[in-house]
Structure 1
Protein backbone atom coordinates (compact mmCIF):
# COMPACT_ATOMS: atom_id res chain seq x y z
CA UNK A 1 0.00 0.00 0.00
CA UNK A 2 2.84 2.37 0.95
CA UNK A 3 4.69 1.43 -2.24
CA UNK A 4 1.65 2.35 -4.37
CA UNK A 5 1.41 5.72 -2.64
CA UNK A 6 5.11 6.40 -3.28
CA UNK A 7 4.72 5.54 -6.97
CA UNK A 8 1.71 7.83 -7.20
CA UNK A 9 3.63 10.69 -5.55
CA UNK A 10 6.62 10.21 -7.89
CA UNK A 11 4.37 10.23 -10.96
CA UNK A 12 2.69 13.41 -9.71
CA UNK A 13 6.05 15.10 -9.13
CA UNK A 14 7.31 14.19 -12.60
CA UNK A 15 4.07 15.44 -14.11
CA UNK A 16 4.45 18.77 -12.30
CA UNK A 17 8.07 19.09 -13.46
CA UNK A 18 7.18 18.45 -17.11
CA UNK A 19 4.19 20.77 -16.85
CA UNK A 20 6.35 23.55 -15.39
CA UNK A 21 8.99 23.06 -18.09
CA UNK A 22 6.29 23.17 -20.75
CA UNK A 23 4.88 26.37 -19.28
CA UNK A 24 8.36 27.94 -19.15
CA UNK A 25 9.21 26.99 -22.74
CA UNK A 26 5.82 28.21 -23.89
CA UNK A 27 6.20 31.56 -22.13
CA UNK A 28 9.70 32.00 -23.55
CA UNK A 29 8.42 31.28 -27.06
CA UNK A 30 5.75 33.93 -26.61
CA UNK A 31 8.08 36.50 -25.00
CA UNK A 32 7.74 39.96 -26.49
CA UNK A 33 10.84 41.39 -28.15
CA UNK A 34 11.36 45.09 -27.52
CA UNK A 35 11.51 47.49 -30.47
CA UNK A 36 11.79 51.20 -31.36
CA UNK A 37 8.91 53.28 -30.00
CA UNK A 38 8.17 51.01 -27.06
CA UNK A 39 7.92 52.72 -23.67
CA UNK A 40 9.76 50.95 -20.86
CA UNK A 41 9.28 51.46 -17.15
CA UNK A 42 11.79 50.35 -14.52
CA UNK A 43 11.57 50.57 -10.74
CA UNK A 44 14.19 49.65 -8.14
CA UNK A 45 12.83 48.60 -4.77
CA UNK A 46 13.67 51.27 -2.18
CA UNK A 47 15.73 53.33 -4.64
CA UNK A 48 13.53 55.86 -6.43
CA UNK A 49 16.56 57.68 -7.88
CA UNK A 50 17.22 54.68 -10.11
CA UNK A 51 13.68 54.33 -11.40
CA UNK A 52 13.08 55.36 -15.01
CA UNK A 53 10.52 55.60 -17.81
CA UNK A 54 12.03 55.82 -21.29
CA UNK A 55 11.17 55.40 -24.96
CA UNK A 56 13.25 53.13 -27.17
CA UNK A 57 14.80 55.28 -29.91
CA UNK A 58 14.97 54.48 -33.64
CA UNK A 59 18.29 52.70 -33.18
CA UNK A 60 16.81 50.46 -30.50
CA UNK A 61 18.60 52.11 -27.57
CA UNK A 62 17.45 53.63 -24.28
CA UNK A 63 19.03 56.31 -22.11
CA UNK A 64 19.08 55.65 -18.36
CA UNK A 65 20.41 58.15 -15.76
CA UNK A 66 22.90 55.76 -14.16
CA UNK A 67 24.71 54.82 -17.39
CA UNK A 68 27.02 57.00 -19.48
CA UNK A 69 26.32 54.97 -22.61
CA UNK A 70 23.02 54.06 -24.30
CA UNK A 71 21.70 50.63 -23.46
CA UNK A 72 20.75 48.40 -26.38
CA UNK A 73 17.15 47.25 -25.88
CA UNK A 74 15.99 46.20 -29.35
CA UNK A 75 15.10 42.55 -29.87
CA UNK A 76 15.55 41.73 -26.20
CA UNK A 77 12.92 40.39 -23.84
CA UNK A 78 11.98 42.11 -20.60
CA UNK A 79 13.89 39.42 -18.70
CA UNK A 80 17.06 39.83 -20.76
CA UNK A 81 17.05 43.61 -20.50
CA UNK A 82 16.25 43.50 -16.78
CA UNK A 83 19.28 41.29 -16.15
CA UNK A 84 21.54 43.66 -18.11
CA UNK A 85 20.30 46.83 -16.41
CA UNK A 86 20.46 45.15 -12.99
CA UNK A 87 24.21 44.67 -13.51
CA UNK A 88 24.58 48.38 -14.29
CA UNK A 89 22.69 49.43 -11.16
CA UNK A 90 24.69 46.94 -9.07
CA UNK A 91 27.68 49.27 -9.45
CA UNK A 92 25.90 51.74 -7.21
CA UNK A 93 23.31 49.74 -5.27
CA UNK A 94 23.91 46.52 -3.40
CA UNK A 95 21.72 43.64 -4.58
CA UNK A 96 19.24 45.85 -6.52
CA UNK A 97 15.70 44.51 -6.97
CA UNK A 98 14.67 45.82 -10.39
CA UNK A 99 11.24 45.37 -11.93
CA UNK A 100 11.09 46.15 -15.65
CA UNK A 101 8.11 46.09 -17.97
CA UNK A 102 7.03 47.32 -21.38
CA UNK A 103 4.49 49.98 -20.39
CA UNK A 104 3.32 50.61 -23.97
CA UNK A 105 3.94 48.56 -27.09
CA UNK A 106 4.36 50.91 -30.02
CA UNK A 107 7.00 49.25 -32.17
CA UNK A 108 4.79 46.90 -34.18
CA UNK A 109 2.17 47.87 -36.77
CA UNK A 110 -0.99 45.75 -36.79
CA UNK A 111 -1.62 42.85 -39.14
CA UNK A 112 -4.34 43.62 -41.69
CA UNK A 113 -6.65 40.87 -42.91
CA UNK A 114 -9.37 41.48 -45.45
CA UNK A 115 -11.01 40.01 -48.52
CA UNK A 116 -13.32 37.04 -48.17
CA UNK A 117 -13.21 36.69 -44.37
CA UNK A 118 -16.16 37.14 -42.05
CA UNK A 119 -14.55 39.94 -40.01
CA UNK A 120 -12.14 42.19 -41.90
CA UNK A 121 -9.93 43.83 -39.31
CA UNK A 122 -6.52 44.86 -38.03
CA UNK A 123 -4.92 42.65 -35.40
CA UNK A 124 -2.21 43.70 -32.95
CA UNK A 125 0.09 40.76 -32.28
CA UNK A 126 1.57 40.23 -28.83
CA UNK A 127 3.12 36.83 -29.52
CA UNK A 128 4.12 34.53 -32.35
CA UNK A 129 1.08 33.78 -34.50
CA UNK A 130 0.53 31.70 -37.62
CA UNK A 131 -1.74 32.21 -40.61
CA UNK A 132 -4.37 29.65 -39.61
CA UNK A 133 -4.84 31.29 -36.21
CA UNK A 134 -5.29 34.72 -37.82
CA UNK A 135 -7.93 33.29 -40.18
CA UNK A 136 -9.77 31.76 -37.22
CA UNK A 137 -9.53 35.05 -35.33
CA UNK A 138 -11.20 36.75 -38.31
CA UNK A 139 -14.13 34.34 -38.13
CA UNK A 140 -12.98 32.11 -40.97
CA UNK A 141 -13.52 32.55 -44.69
CA UNK A 142 -16.81 33.25 -46.45
CA UNK A 143 -18.59 31.07 -48.99
CA UNK A 144 -17.21 33.29 -51.75
CA UNK A 145 -13.58 32.61 -50.84
CA UNK A 146 -11.45 31.20 -53.61
CA UNK A 147 -8.61 28.76 -53.18
CA UNK A 148 -5.83 31.32 -52.75
CA UNK A 149 -4.58 33.38 -49.81
CA UNK A 150 -1.96 36.05 -50.47
CA UNK A 151 0.31 37.36 -47.72
CA UNK A 152 2.11 40.65 -48.34
CA UNK A 153 5.10 41.80 -46.28
CA UNK A 154 5.54 45.56 -46.89
CA UNK A 155 8.49 45.88 -44.52
CA UNK A 156 11.05 43.50 -43.03
CA UNK A 157 9.80 42.06 -39.74
CA UNK A 158 11.44 43.38 -36.60
CA UNK A 159 13.69 40.86 -34.83
CA UNK A 160 12.97 38.15 -37.41
CA UNK A 161 15.16 35.24 -38.43
CA UNK A 162 17.54 36.46 -41.19
CA UNK A 163 16.95 33.27 -43.18
CA UNK A 164 13.23 34.00 -43.35
CA UNK A 165 13.96 37.53 -44.56
CA UNK A 166 16.12 36.17 -47.38
CA UNK A 167 13.39 33.74 -48.42
CA UNK A 168 10.87 36.56 -48.67
CA UNK A 169 13.27 38.73 -50.68
CA UNK A 170 13.84 35.89 -53.13
CA UNK A 171 10.12 35.69 -53.90
CA UNK A 172 9.90 39.33 -55.07
CA UNK A 173 10.10 39.34 -58.89
CA UNK A 174 10.45 43.12 -59.05
CA UNK A 175 12.30 45.38 -56.63
CA UNK A 176 9.34 47.76 -56.71
CA UNK A 177 6.85 45.03 -55.81
CA UNK A 178 5.90 44.26 -52.24
CA UNK A 179 7.20 40.78 -51.35
CA UNK A 180 4.32 38.34 -51.12
CA UNK A 181 3.49 34.66 -51.09
CA UNK A 182 0.54 32.63 -52.25
CA UNK A 183 -0.93 29.84 -50.13
CA UNK A 184 -3.55 27.23 -50.92
CA UNK A 185 -6.60 27.60 -48.70
CA UNK A 186 -7.08 23.83 -48.53
CA UNK A 187 -3.47 23.32 -47.41
CA UNK A 188 -3.86 26.02 -44.77
CA UNK A 189 -7.02 24.36 -43.43
CA UNK A 190 -5.17 21.04 -43.22
CA UNK A 191 -2.56 22.72 -41.04
CA UNK A 192 0.37 21.87 -43.31
CA UNK A 193 3.48 23.58 -41.99
CA UNK A 194 4.59 24.93 -45.36
CA UNK A 195 1.18 26.57 -45.81
CA UNK A 196 0.87 27.90 -42.27
CA UNK A 197 3.61 30.54 -42.00
CA UNK A 198 4.44 32.76 -39.07
CA UNK A 199 2.66 36.11 -39.49
CA UNK A 200 4.60 39.22 -38.51
CA UNK A 201 3.35 42.67 -37.49
CA UNK A 202 2.65 44.78 -40.57
CA UNK A 203 1.77 41.81 -42.78
CA UNK A 204 -1.27 42.16 -45.04
CA UNK A 205 -3.38 39.04 -45.60
CA UNK A 206 -5.85 38.91 -48.50
CA UNK A 207 -8.27 36.02 -48.93
CA UNK A 208 -9.03 36.20 -52.62
CA UNK A 209 -12.59 36.03 -53.90
CA UNK A 210 -13.55 33.06 -56.01
CA UNK A 211 -14.15 33.77 -59.68
CA UNK A 212 -17.88 33.70 -60.49
CA UNK A 213 -20.08 31.79 -62.91
CA UNK A 214 -23.43 33.26 -63.97
CA UNK A 215 -26.53 31.10 -64.42
CA UNK A 216 -29.36 32.79 -66.32
CA UNK A 217 -32.51 31.88 -68.21
CA UNK A 218 -35.00 29.19 -67.32
CA UNK A 219 -33.81 28.33 -63.83
CA UNK A 220 -35.61 28.85 -60.55
CA UNK A 221 -33.17 31.56 -59.39
CA UNK A 222 -30.72 33.59 -61.43
CA UNK A 223 -27.40 33.19 -59.66
CA UNK A 224 -23.84 34.38 -59.49
CA UNK A 225 -22.04 31.30 -58.19
CA UNK A 226 -18.41 31.35 -56.98
CA UNK A 227 -16.02 28.68 -58.17
CA UNK A 228 -14.39 27.38 -55.01
CA UNK A 229 -11.02 25.66 -54.86
CA UNK A 230 -12.79 22.33 -55.46
CA UNK A 231 -14.11 23.56 -58.80
CA UNK A 232 -17.68 23.77 -60.10
CA UNK A 233 -19.49 21.60 -62.64
CA UNK A 234 -22.54 22.37 -64.74
CA UNK A 235 -24.81 20.09 -62.71
CA UNK A 236 -23.63 21.71 -59.46
CA UNK A 237 -24.29 25.18 -60.85
CA UNK A 238 -27.81 24.24 -61.98
CA UNK A 239 -28.52 22.71 -58.57
CA UNK A 240 -27.36 25.88 -56.79
CA UNK A 241 -29.66 27.87 -59.07
CA UNK A 242 -32.59 25.83 -57.75
CA UNK A 243 -32.93 23.59 -60.78
CA UNK A 244 -34.79 24.17 -64.04
CA UNK A 245 -38.13 25.85 -64.57
CA UNK A 246 -40.83 23.91 -66.40
CA UNK A 247 -40.06 25.67 -69.67
CA UNK A 248 -36.32 24.91 -69.61
CA UNK A 249 -34.72 23.58 -72.77
CA UNK A 250 -32.46 21.06 -71.06
CA UNK A 251 -31.22 19.41 -74.25
CA UNK A 252 -29.54 22.58 -75.44
CA UNK A 253 -27.84 24.55 -72.68
CA UNK A 254 -25.41 27.20 -73.88
CA UNK A 255 -22.20 28.04 -72.05
CA UNK A 256 -20.71 31.36 -73.14
CA UNK A 257 -17.00 31.17 -72.37
CA UNK A 258 -14.32 33.83 -72.71
CA UNK A 259 -11.68 33.03 -75.30
CA UNK A 260 -8.10 33.02 -74.07
CA UNK A 261 -6.59 36.53 -73.94
CA UNK A 262 -9.74 37.98 -75.47
CA UNK A 263 -13.02 39.62 -74.50
CA UNK A 264 -14.88 37.59 -77.11
CA UNK A 265 -16.82 34.51 -76.12
CA UNK A 266 -17.24 31.11 -77.68
CA UNK A 267 -20.47 29.14 -77.30
CA UNK A 268 -20.45 25.58 -76.01
CA UNK A 269 -23.72 23.68 -76.44
CA UNK A 270 -24.40 20.95 -73.87
CA UNK A 271 -27.13 18.32 -73.65
CA UNK A 272 -27.96 18.25 -69.94
CA UNK A 273 -30.20 15.21 -70.29
CA UNK A 274 -27.27 13.12 -71.53
CA UNK A 275 -25.14 14.26 -68.58
CA UNK A 276 -27.93 13.30 -66.18
CA UNK A 277 -28.27 9.88 -67.85
CA UNK A 278 -24.53 9.26 -67.72
CA UNK A 279 -24.09 9.36 -71.49
CA UNK A 280 -21.97 12.51 -71.39
CA UNK A 281 -19.34 13.70 -68.94
CA UNK A 282 -20.23 16.60 -66.68
CA UNK A 283 -18.76 19.93 -67.77
CA UNK A 284 -16.24 21.72 -65.54
CA UNK A 285 -17.08 25.40 -65.58
CA UNK A 286 -14.45 28.12 -65.88
CA UNK A 287 -14.28 31.62 -64.35
CA UNK A 288 -16.72 34.11 -65.90
CA UNK A 289 -18.70 31.41 -67.73
CA UNK A 290 -22.30 32.35 -68.50
CA UNK A 291 -24.64 29.36 -68.36
CA UNK A 292 -27.72 30.19 -70.41
CA UNK A 293 -30.77 27.95 -70.15
CA UNK A 294 -33.17 28.60 -73.01
CA UNK A 295 -36.93 28.13 -73.13
CA UNK A 296 -38.35 25.10 -74.89
CA UNK A 297 -41.11 25.55 -77.46
CA UNK A 298 -44.49 24.22 -76.34
CA UNK A 299 -47.46 23.11 -78.37
CA UNK A 300 -51.02 24.39 -77.95
CA UNK A 301 -52.00 21.29 -76.01
CA UNK A 302 -49.22 21.82 -73.49
CA UNK A 303 -50.16 25.47 -73.00
CA UNK A 304 -53.84 24.56 -72.41
CA UNK A 305 -52.78 21.90 -69.92
CA UNK A 306 -50.65 24.45 -68.06
CA UNK A 307 -53.58 26.87 -67.89
CA UNK A 308 -55.86 24.18 -66.48
CA UNK A 309 -53.30 23.02 -63.91
CA UNK A 310 -52.02 26.49 -62.99
CA UNK A 311 -48.61 25.86 -64.54
CA UNK A 312 -48.86 28.82 -66.92
CA UNK A 313 -49.67 31.33 -64.22
CA UNK A 314 -47.25 33.90 -65.58
CA UNK A 315 -48.97 33.69 -68.98
CA UNK A 316 -52.56 33.95 -67.73
CA UNK A 317 -51.75 36.78 -65.34
CA UNK A 318 -50.98 39.11 -68.23
CA UNK A 319 -54.29 38.39 -70.02
CA UNK A 320 -57.06 40.96 -69.43
CA UNK A 321 -60.17 39.75 -67.57
CA UNK A 322 -63.74 40.80 -68.43
CA UNK A 323 -67.07 39.80 -66.89
CA UNK A 324 -69.79 38.51 -69.24
CA UNK A 325 -73.23 39.39 -67.92
Structure 2
Protein backbone atom coordinates (compact mmCIF):
# COMPACT_ATOMS: atom_id res chain seq x y z
CA UNK A 1 0.00 0.00 0.00
CA UNK A 2 2.82 2.39 0.91
CA UNK A 3 4.56 1.59 -2.38
CA UNK A 4 1.35 2.38 -4.28
CA UNK A 5 0.96 5.75 -2.51
CA UNK A 6 4.62 6.59 -3.16
CA UNK A 7 4.32 5.71 -6.85
CA UNK A 8 1.13 7.73 -7.13
CA UNK A 9 2.93 10.77 -5.67
CA UNK A 10 5.81 10.38 -8.14
CA UNK A 11 3.43 10.08 -11.09
CA UNK A 12 1.48 13.13 -10.03
CA UNK A 13 4.72 15.10 -9.67
CA UNK A 14 6.05 14.06 -13.07
CA UNK A 15 2.77 14.22 -14.97
CA UNK A 16 2.89 17.99 -15.70
CA UNK A 17 6.25 17.73 -17.48
CA UNK A 18 4.89 17.62 -21.02
CA UNK A 19 6.05 20.00 -23.73
CA UNK A 20 3.76 22.96 -23.11
CA UNK A 21 3.06 22.57 -19.44
CA UNK A 22 -0.11 21.70 -17.60
CA UNK A 23 -2.26 24.05 -19.68
CA UNK A 24 -1.37 22.60 -23.08
CA UNK A 25 -4.51 21.59 -24.98
CA UNK A 26 -4.29 18.33 -26.90
CA UNK A 27 -5.21 18.56 -30.56
CA UNK A 28 -5.62 16.46 -33.68
CA UNK A 29 -2.38 14.82 -34.81
CA UNK A 30 -0.68 14.94 -31.40
CA UNK A 31 1.07 11.76 -30.26
CA UNK A 32 0.37 10.63 -26.70
CA UNK A 33 1.81 8.04 -24.35
CA UNK A 34 -0.84 6.54 -22.08
CA UNK A 35 0.00 4.22 -19.21
CA UNK A 36 -1.93 2.61 -16.39
CA UNK A 37 0.23 1.41 -13.51
CA UNK A 38 0.27 -2.34 -13.14
CA UNK A 39 -1.68 -3.04 -16.33
CA UNK A 40 0.71 -3.89 -19.18
CA UNK A 41 -2.08 -4.03 -21.77
CA UNK A 42 -2.98 -0.41 -21.00
CA UNK A 43 0.50 1.02 -21.59
CA UNK A 44 0.53 2.18 -25.19
CA UNK A 45 1.31 5.07 -27.60
CA UNK A 46 -1.54 6.58 -29.55
CA UNK A 47 -2.08 9.36 -32.07
CA UNK A 48 -5.09 11.67 -31.90
CA UNK A 49 -7.14 11.13 -35.04
CA UNK A 50 -8.56 13.96 -37.21
CA UNK A 51 -11.90 13.49 -35.43
CA UNK A 52 -10.19 14.27 -32.11
CA UNK A 53 -10.55 10.76 -30.71
CA UNK A 54 -8.21 8.01 -29.59
CA UNK A 55 -8.87 4.30 -29.17
CA UNK A 56 -8.29 2.86 -25.68
CA UNK A 57 -8.25 -0.95 -25.22
CA UNK A 58 -11.35 -2.05 -23.33
CA UNK A 59 -13.04 1.36 -23.65
CA UNK A 60 -13.11 2.00 -27.38
CA UNK A 61 -13.17 5.56 -28.66
CA UNK A 62 -12.41 8.41 -26.26
CA UNK A 63 -12.39 12.11 -27.12
CA UNK A 64 -8.89 13.53 -26.43
CA UNK A 65 -8.83 16.76 -28.46
CA UNK A 66 -9.70 19.85 -26.46
CA UNK A 67 -8.50 18.43 -23.13
CA UNK A 68 -5.27 19.10 -21.27
CA UNK A 69 -3.21 15.98 -20.37
CA UNK A 70 -4.31 16.25 -16.74
CA UNK A 71 -7.98 16.49 -17.74
CA UNK A 72 -7.63 13.45 -19.98
CA UNK A 73 -5.92 11.56 -17.13
CA UNK A 74 -8.88 12.23 -14.84
CA UNK A 75 -11.39 11.27 -17.53
CA UNK A 76 -9.60 8.02 -18.34
CA UNK A 77 -9.24 7.27 -14.63
CA UNK A 78 -13.00 7.46 -14.19
CA UNK A 79 -13.76 5.40 -17.30
CA UNK A 80 -11.17 2.71 -16.51
CA UNK A 81 -12.75 1.99 -13.13
CA UNK A 82 -15.04 -0.27 -15.17
CA UNK A 83 -11.99 -2.45 -15.93
CA UNK A 84 -9.32 -1.72 -13.28
CA UNK A 85 -9.60 -1.22 -9.54
CA UNK A 86 -8.26 2.23 -8.55
CA UNK A 87 -6.46 2.90 -11.87
CA UNK A 88 -3.43 5.23 -11.82
CA UNK A 89 -3.33 6.86 -15.25
CA UNK A 90 -0.54 8.95 -16.81
CA UNK A 91 -0.95 10.88 -20.08
CA UNK A 92 2.15 12.41 -21.66
CA UNK A 93 2.32 14.43 -24.87
CA UNK A 94 5.18 12.86 -26.82
CA UNK A 95 4.89 14.85 -30.06
CA UNK A 96 3.03 18.05 -30.81
CA UNK A 97 1.73 18.67 -34.33
CA UNK A 98 -1.40 20.58 -33.47
CA UNK A 99 0.08 23.81 -32.06
CA UNK A 100 0.68 26.36 -34.84
CA UNK A 101 0.99 30.13 -35.22
CA UNK A 102 0.16 31.88 -38.50
CA UNK A 103 2.16 34.87 -39.78
CA UNK A 104 0.84 37.02 -42.63
CA UNK A 105 1.06 40.50 -44.10
CA UNK A 106 3.31 42.12 -46.72
CA UNK A 107 6.01 43.03 -44.19
CA UNK A 108 7.27 39.45 -43.79
CA UNK A 109 7.11 36.18 -45.64
CA UNK A 110 3.87 34.36 -44.85
CA UNK A 111 4.52 31.30 -42.70
CA UNK A 112 2.99 28.67 -40.45
CA UNK A 113 5.19 28.12 -37.40
CA UNK A 114 4.98 24.92 -35.34
CA UNK A 115 5.16 25.58 -31.60
CA UNK A 116 7.11 22.57 -30.40
CA UNK A 117 7.94 24.35 -27.15
CA UNK A 118 6.86 27.35 -25.08
CA UNK A 119 7.41 30.37 -27.35
CA UNK A 120 6.93 34.06 -26.63
CA UNK A 121 6.03 36.80 -29.10
CA UNK A 122 9.54 38.28 -28.83
CA UNK A 123 11.16 34.92 -29.52
CA UNK A 124 9.04 34.52 -32.65
CA UNK A 125 9.85 38.04 -33.90
CA UNK A 126 13.56 37.28 -33.50
CA UNK A 127 13.11 34.36 -35.92
CA UNK A 128 11.82 36.60 -38.74
CA UNK A 129 14.63 37.93 -40.98
CA UNK A 130 12.45 40.63 -42.60
CA UNK A 131 11.16 42.15 -39.36
CA UNK A 132 13.54 45.16 -39.58
CA UNK A 133 11.78 46.39 -42.72
CA UNK A 134 8.29 45.74 -41.36
CA UNK A 135 5.83 48.25 -39.94
CA UNK A 136 5.69 46.93 -36.39
CA UNK A 137 3.84 50.03 -35.19
CA UNK A 138 0.79 48.85 -37.15
CA UNK A 139 1.26 45.11 -36.61
CA UNK A 140 -1.06 43.19 -34.30
CA UNK A 141 -1.76 39.79 -32.79
CA UNK A 142 -5.10 38.04 -33.37
CA UNK A 143 -6.42 35.43 -30.93
CA UNK A 144 -9.85 33.76 -31.14
CA UNK A 145 -11.00 36.39 -33.64
CA UNK A 146 -9.99 39.48 -31.67
CA UNK A 147 -6.92 41.68 -31.32
CA UNK A 148 -4.71 41.12 -28.30
CA UNK A 149 -3.63 44.30 -26.52
CA UNK A 150 0.11 44.30 -27.15
CA UNK A 151 2.46 46.68 -29.01
CA UNK A 152 4.95 44.86 -31.24
CA UNK A 153 6.90 48.07 -31.93
CA UNK A 154 7.41 48.84 -28.23
CA UNK A 155 8.39 45.22 -27.63
CA UNK A 156 10.87 44.65 -30.45
CA UNK A 157 12.24 48.17 -31.06
CA UNK A 158 11.96 49.78 -27.62
CA UNK A 159 12.64 46.62 -25.61
CA UNK A 160 9.49 46.99 -23.51
CA UNK A 161 9.17 43.48 -22.08
CA UNK A 162 5.77 44.27 -20.58
CA UNK A 163 4.45 43.84 -24.14
CA UNK A 164 5.74 40.26 -24.43
CA UNK A 165 3.41 37.29 -24.01
CA UNK A 166 3.33 33.54 -24.51
CA UNK A 167 1.90 32.51 -27.86
CA UNK A 168 -1.02 30.10 -28.04
CA UNK A 169 -2.05 27.62 -30.69
CA UNK A 170 -3.86 29.22 -33.65
CA UNK A 171 -2.61 32.74 -32.87
CA UNK A 172 -2.24 34.89 -36.00
CA UNK A 173 0.22 37.78 -36.38
CA UNK A 174 -0.37 40.46 -39.00
CA UNK A 175 2.78 42.40 -39.97
CA UNK A 176 2.44 45.02 -42.76
CA UNK A 177 5.27 46.46 -44.84
CA UNK A 178 6.78 49.76 -43.79
CA UNK A 179 6.01 51.57 -47.05
CA UNK A 180 8.11 54.70 -46.52
CA UNK A 181 11.46 54.27 -44.79
CA UNK A 182 12.75 57.77 -45.44
CA UNK A 183 12.66 61.20 -43.82
CA UNK A 184 12.57 64.14 -46.24
CA UNK A 185 14.40 67.39 -45.42
CA UNK A 186 13.38 70.26 -47.72
CA UNK A 187 13.54 74.03 -47.94
CA UNK A 188 16.33 76.28 -46.65
CA UNK A 189 18.99 73.62 -46.02
CA UNK A 190 22.25 73.22 -47.89
CA UNK A 191 21.54 69.71 -49.25
CA UNK A 192 17.79 68.99 -49.47
CA UNK A 193 17.48 65.20 -49.54
CA UNK A 194 15.71 62.01 -48.51
CA UNK A 195 17.42 60.30 -45.55
CA UNK A 196 16.95 56.66 -44.62
CA UNK A 197 14.98 56.58 -41.39
CA UNK A 198 16.67 55.26 -38.24
CA UNK A 199 14.95 54.46 -34.99
CA UNK A 200 15.30 57.40 -32.60
CA UNK A 201 16.25 59.95 -35.29
CA UNK A 202 15.71 63.55 -34.12
CA UNK A 203 14.83 66.59 -36.26
CA UNK A 204 18.16 68.37 -35.74
CA UNK A 205 20.03 65.19 -36.68
CA UNK A 206 18.12 65.10 -39.98
CA UNK A 207 18.78 68.79 -40.68
CA UNK A 208 22.53 68.32 -40.08
CA UNK A 209 22.56 65.34 -42.46
CA UNK A 210 20.99 67.65 -45.05
CA UNK A 211 23.96 70.00 -44.75
CA UNK A 212 22.53 72.17 -41.97
CA UNK A 213 20.61 75.44 -42.24
CA UNK A 214 21.36 77.58 -45.27
CA UNK A 215 22.14 81.28 -44.80
CA UNK A 216 18.55 82.06 -45.80
CA UNK A 217 16.93 79.79 -43.20
CA UNK A 218 14.62 80.96 -40.45
CA UNK A 219 15.74 78.62 -37.68
CA UNK A 220 12.64 79.42 -35.68
CA UNK A 221 10.34 78.42 -38.51
CA UNK A 222 10.75 74.67 -39.02
CA UNK A 223 7.73 72.43 -39.51
CA UNK A 224 7.56 68.64 -39.38
CA UNK A 225 4.67 67.37 -41.46
CA UNK A 226 3.47 63.91 -40.54
CA UNK A 227 0.67 61.69 -41.76
CA UNK A 228 -0.85 59.36 -39.19
CA UNK A 229 -3.45 57.24 -40.94
CA UNK A 230 -6.02 59.65 -42.35
CA UNK A 231 -4.84 62.48 -40.09
CA UNK A 232 -2.18 65.06 -41.00
CA UNK A 233 -0.06 66.79 -38.37
CA UNK A 234 2.13 69.90 -38.51
CA UNK A 235 4.65 70.04 -35.64
CA UNK A 236 6.48 73.32 -35.12
CA UNK A 237 10.17 73.37 -34.20
CA UNK A 238 11.97 76.48 -32.94
CA UNK A 239 15.66 75.64 -33.28
CA UNK A 240 16.86 78.88 -31.66
CA UNK A 241 15.14 77.88 -28.41
CA UNK A 242 17.03 74.61 -28.60
CA UNK A 243 20.40 76.25 -29.24
CA UNK A 244 20.14 79.29 -26.97
CA UNK A 245 17.89 78.06 -24.15
CA UNK A 246 18.63 74.33 -24.25
CA UNK A 247 14.95 73.51 -24.79
CA UNK A 248 15.30 69.83 -25.74
CA UNK A 249 11.55 69.55 -26.35
CA UNK A 250 12.17 71.33 -29.67
CA UNK A 251 14.34 68.45 -30.92
CA UNK A 252 11.40 66.16 -31.58
CA UNK A 253 11.79 62.52 -32.57
CA UNK A 254 10.95 61.78 -36.18
CA UNK A 255 9.00 58.95 -37.76
CA UNK A 256 9.43 57.26 -41.12
CA UNK A 257 7.69 59.30 -43.84
CA UNK A 258 8.07 62.67 -42.04
CA UNK A 259 8.76 65.82 -44.05
CA UNK A 260 11.00 68.42 -42.37
CA UNK A 261 10.37 71.83 -43.96
CA UNK A 262 12.81 74.64 -43.15
CA UNK A 263 11.36 77.99 -44.20
CA UNK A 264 13.31 81.01 -45.42
CA UNK A 265 13.55 84.18 -43.39
CA UNK A 266 12.14 87.46 -44.68
CA UNK A 267 14.78 90.18 -44.68
Partner SS state of residue 125, structure 2? helix
Asked whether 1:67 is paired with 2:34, we answer no
| Aligned equivalent of 2:5 | none
CA RMSD of aligned residues (A): 5.4
Gaps of 5+ in 2: 1-9
CA contact under 8 A between 1:257 and 1:289: conserved in structure 2? yes
Match of 1:218 among 170, 182, 190: 190
1:45-100 deviations in Å (ceiling 9; x for gaps)? 99679857453344x332335225x3131344556646765776786689999986
Cα displacement (A) at 1:125: 1.6
CA contact under 8 A between 2:138 and 2:175: conserved in structure 1? yes
Asked whether 1:289 is paired with 2:258, we answer yes
CA contact under 8 A between 1:125 and 1:201: conserved in structure 2? yes
CA contact under 8 A between 1:147 and 1:210: conserved in structure 2? no
Equivalenced residue count is: 240
Q: 1:26 to 1:47 in 2, by over 3 A?
A: closer
Q: 1:42 to 1:76 in 2, by over 3 A?
A: same
Within 5 Å, give how 1:176-187 maps onto structure 2: 178-184=145-151, 185-186=153-154
Asked whether 1:38 is paired with 2:27, we answer no
Q: 1:255 to 1:224 in 2, by over 3 A?
A: farther
TM-score of the pair, normalised by structure 1: 0.49
CA contact under 8 A between 1:112 and 1:204: conserved in structure 2? yes
Q: 1:152 to 1:262 in 2, by over 3 A?
A: closer
Q: Distance in 1 between matches of 2:155 and 2:42?
A: 56
Q: 1:263 to 1:78 in 2, by over 3 A?
A: closer
Within 5 Å, give how 1:134-283 maps onto structure 2: 134-138=124-128, 142=132, 147=137, 149-153=139-143, 156=144, 178-184=145-151, 185-186=153-154, 189-192=159-162, 195-206=163-174, 209=178, 213-216=183-186, 218-219=190-191, 222-225=194-197, 228=199, 233-239=202-208, 242-244=209-211, 248-249=214-215, 251-252=217-218, 255=223, 257=225, 272=239, 275-278=242-245, 282=250
Cα displacement (A) at 1:261: 8.9
Q: Distance in 1 between matches of 2:88 and 2:232?
A: 77
| Aligned equivalent of 1:125 | 115
1:151-189 deviations in Å (ceiling 9; x for gaps)? 112xx3xxxxxxxxxxxxxxxxxxxxx411342343673
Q: Distance in 1 between matches of 2:246 and 2:42?
A: 90
CA contact under 8 A between 2:100 and 2:169: conserved in structure 1? yes
Name the larger-Rg structure. Answer: 1
1:98-147 deviations in Å (ceiling 9; x for gaps)? 98665653433334277778x97543223444333333444796387655
CA contact under 8 A between 2:29 and 2:98: conserved in structure 1? yes
Q: Distance in 2 between matches of 1:63 and 1:221?
A: 69
TM-score of the pair, normalised by structure 2: 0.57
Gaps of 5+ in 1: 1-19, 157-177, 297-325
Q: 1:104 to 1:244 in 2, by over 3 A?
A: same
Asked whether 1:105 is paired with 2:99, we answer no
CA contact under 8 A between 1:33 and 1:75: conserved in structure 2? yes
Q: 1:127 to 1:144 in 2, by over 3 A?
A: closer
| Aligned equivalent of 1:301 | none
